[in-house]
Amino acid sequence: MNNNKLEQLLADSSFVLWLRGECSTKEKKRWDEWLQEYPDYQGLVREAKEIVVAVDSEYDIPNPKKELERLDRVIDEYESRQKQKNVIFTFSSDNQPYRMIGRWAAAAAIIIAVMLGGLMGYYANKTEQSASQKIVEIPKIEKYQTDYGEKLTFRLSDGSRITLNGNSSLTFSSTVEKGLNTEVQLEGEAYFNIAHLEEEDQRTFTVQTDDGSIQVLGTRFMVNTFRNETKTVLEEGKVAIQNTGSSTDYELTPGQLARFKSHDNKITVKEVNTQLYTSWIKDKLIFENTSMEEVSARIEDTFGVEIILGHSYRNETLSGSIKSTNIDVLIEALEEILKADIEQHDNQLLIGIDRQRK
């Protein structure tokens, strides 16, 4: 039971980053609270940390360049002592070519011996470990992060495609293989196009957020973790949602939006036009009777600006499509749609403030 739990934890990239002290503040808080809630796992956490430390400091094969430089210094010191006796590696001191050949041949011989010793020690150590205990592989952790107004699309080795929106980060193990479960940690907003594999290669794909998890097989969906909650919109396929305050899964069907928060058993689901939530991957924002408050929130989260609305625009709704290639293009489109003057001061956008002071 404990061994299975240990392997499960070590396969979680977020958990490994926490043990290494390299996780985000939110993730640190999540794992600290988890350990407080389940104190019986303290021993398991200590054991996991020992394994991570051991793997991180695994036997190092000597660096040839560094070993050569070190041996060069040793040889220089040796030659300096031997010059008084006119002896250099048993070669005549007045025959420089042979002296150099002897010098580097000796160094090369020593380095080869050192490297072979290192390799033998490395593999002997591996063999000894595998004979005495089961080796738990610690995954290499990859992290992608975008700045405000930036988008990043990348492909996993199983063919899945992920697009990160601005001001977002995704952490996952670089070992994404057919038949193995895959877990990623998201902060911000991302669009997932998860490859559907043949039955023998099928695996689960799980997106972890501070509020819970979204588990899928092959599907297209969006996840947004801004504003202290997680929103999931399903375009195609099927996903199962579980928040951190519940052990019950809720299955979404295409065209549905789910909202949930950490330590809250409530999952709110409604039918939506999915394009309103996924159009950003095509460099545009689509609105449909959307309140200016919600429009402002989306722009603030993606571009890192603060929007201040004049009184006459606070109760307005917006419908239409706006190009979102960059903040300047967005401002120009908003001015045309709203028939408003928009001023940009440092990190603030003032909409209709000149016409109607707030």
The pLDDT of residue 131: 43
Measured CA to CA, the distance from residue 14 to residue 201 in angstroms comes to 25
- Contacts with 95 (C-beta within 8 Å, 6 or more apart), sequence order: none
0.75 surpassed by pTM = no
Q: What is the CATH number of domain 283-351?
A: 3.55.50.30
Residue 183 has pLDDT above 60, yes or no: yes
- pLDDT per residue over 204-229, tens digit each? 789 999 899 998 867 899 999 999 99
The domain ranges of the chain are 2-56, 64-132, 141-276, 283-351
Measured CA to CA, the distance from residue 221 to residue 207 in angstroms comes to 11
- pLDDT per residue over 18-75, tens digit each? 888 877 777 788 888 888 888 888 888 888 888 877 766 544 444 455 555 555 555 5
End-to-end alpha carbon distance in the chain: 61
Q: What is the CATH number of domain 141-276?
A: 2.60.120.1440
Q: Considering only 2-16, 262-276, 337-351, which range has the smallest mean pLDDT? A: 2-16
- Of the two residues 141 and 82, the one the predictor is more confident about is 141
Give DSSP secondary structure letters for 181-250.
-EEEEEESEEEEEEPPPPGGG---EEEEETTEEEEESSEEEEEE--TTSEEEEEEES-EEEEETT-S--E
The pLDDT of residue 43: 85
- pLDDT per residue over 306-335, tens digit each? 999 988 888 889 998 998 888 999 999 998
Q: What is the mean pLDDT of the chain?
A: 77
Length of the chain: 358
